[in-house]
Amino acid sequence: IPIPPLSVQERIVNVLDNFDAICSDLKIGLPAEIDARKKQYEYYRDLLLNFDPLGTVLAQASKQASKQASKQASNN
């Protein structure tokens, strides 16, 4: 079996290292993003199922949005 030159081997290693880094980032970030979307879905589902036409729902949604905005600001 012929072995490619060292320069080609180094390029292959660089490509595979980059691919491995991307896969690792996805394994870390993707589950967290999925969990965040599930929580968001549950929150809005519950909000719709417990609709209060008197306006208290809007007040709760506003408080929740403020909490999420401050949480995101502190994470960045």
76: helix, strand or coil: coil
Question: DSSP assignment of 26-54, as one string?
Answer: HHHHHHHHHHHHHHHHHHHHHHHHT--TT
Residue 73 to residue 69: CA distance in whole angstroms = 6
Six token digits for residue 41: 């879905």
Distance of CA 71 to the CA centre of its chain: 14
Q: pTM for the whole thing?
A: 0.43
pLDDT digits (tens, 9 = 90+) for 3-61: 999 999 999 999 999 999 988 888 888 888 899 999 999 999 988 888 766 666 677 77
